[in-house]
Chains A and B, each alone.
Chain A
Amino acid sequence: GENVEQHPSTLSVQEGDSAVIKCTYSDSASNYFPWYKQELGKGPQLIIDIRSNVGEKKDQRIAVTLNKTAKHFSLHITETQPEDSAVYFCAASIRGAQKLVFGQGTRLTINP
């Protein structure tokens, strides 16, 4: 079946450095790729998304890149801050875009 692989499972970076999380997907028909941030005790929060007709999207310190040929996409966070510490999930749409399949999550820790 369709699946999304996410790496790494844990990531620790120094404050101010950059963090990169990578995902690969299996369904070549996937056309929507959101990223979620989940803080302790909260539900996942949509932070950025990208559709298959673009290769890159940026929102302040967050950017996402998409390589449809290789079927992988990445989240880039620059100038990391302590409040960026959370679990991040990638997802890919399947079967007409409404259904999302999620990666396993990456626990990001920003060290002061």
Chain B
Amino acid sequence: ETGVTQTPRHLVMGMTNKKSLKCEQHLGHNAMYWYKQSAKKPLELMFVYNFKEQTENNSVPSRFSPECPNSSHLFLHLHTLQPEDSALYLCASSQARTGGYEQYFGPGTRLTVT
């Protein structure tokens, strides 16, 4: 549970606000991910970072802006969000190697856009 931490755990923001979500992994991994989890929908991959470089942007709107300053930290900067962006945002990390990448998730940030 403490391998991947996320702050804040809950966030309420207006559509004109700017806020940031933070993720930190203590597992020595070199890949980090952002996922969106909405009710009645599968987990949606948003971004992938390998060794601090973004390797995947899954057609995410520009109002979501990720930042990965080092292999242990990942941020998701939010601005001018829409109510449909309300969801649980999950961070995950993994150690890249051939044959599979076990991903370990944080507890998530519950975001409500009003």
- A interface, CB within 8 angstroms of B: 4, 31-32, 34, 36, 41-46, 49, 51, 89, 93, 97-105
**Quick check: A104 and B104 within 8 Å, CB to CB?**
no
- 25 sample A-B contacts, Cβ–Cβ < 8 Å, listed by A number: A31-B100, A32-B99, A32-B100, A34-B100, A34-B103, A42-B107, A42-B108, A43-B4, A43-B6, A43-B92, A43-B106, A46-B104, A46-B105, A51-B99, A51-B100, A89-B42, A97-B98, A97-B100, A98-B101, A99-B45, A99-B48, A100-B45, A101-B42, A101-B45, A102-B42
Where chain B touches its partner, the secondary structure class is loop
- Cβ contacts under 8 Å, A98 to chain B: 31, 48, 50, 94, 96, 101
Interface flags, B21-47, vs A, CB<8A=1, else 0: 000000000010000000011110100
**Quick check: B42 and A103 within 8 Å, CB to CB?**
yes
Interface flags, B42-73, vs A, CB<8A=1, else 0: 11010010100000100000000000000000
Q: How far is the CA of A31 from the CA of B100 in the complex (A)?
A: 7
Q: How far is the CA of A26 from the CA of B107 in the complex (A)?
A: 29
Residue of B nearest to A53 (CB): B99
8 closest Cβ pairs, A-B complex:
A32-B100, A43-B105, A102-B43, A102-B42, A43-B107, A44-B105, A98-B101, A43-B108
Q: How far is the CA of A43 from the CA of B90 in the complex (A)?
A: 7
- B interface, CB within 8 angstroms of A: 1, 4, 6, 31, 40-43, 45, 48, 50, 56, 90, 92, 94, 96, 98-108
Residue of A nearest to B43 (CB): A102
- Cβ contacts under 8 Å, B98 to chain A: 97
Q: How far is the CA of A80 from the CA of B46 in the complex (A)?
A: 34
Chain B min CB distance to A61 (Å):
20
**Quick check: B107 and A97 within 8 Å, CB to CB?**
no
Please give 9 more A-B residue pairs, beta carbons under 8 A apart, in addition to A44-B105, A98-B48, A100-B45. Answer: A46-B102, A97-B100, A98-B50, A98-B94, A98-B96, A99-B45, A101-B45, A102-B42, A103-B42
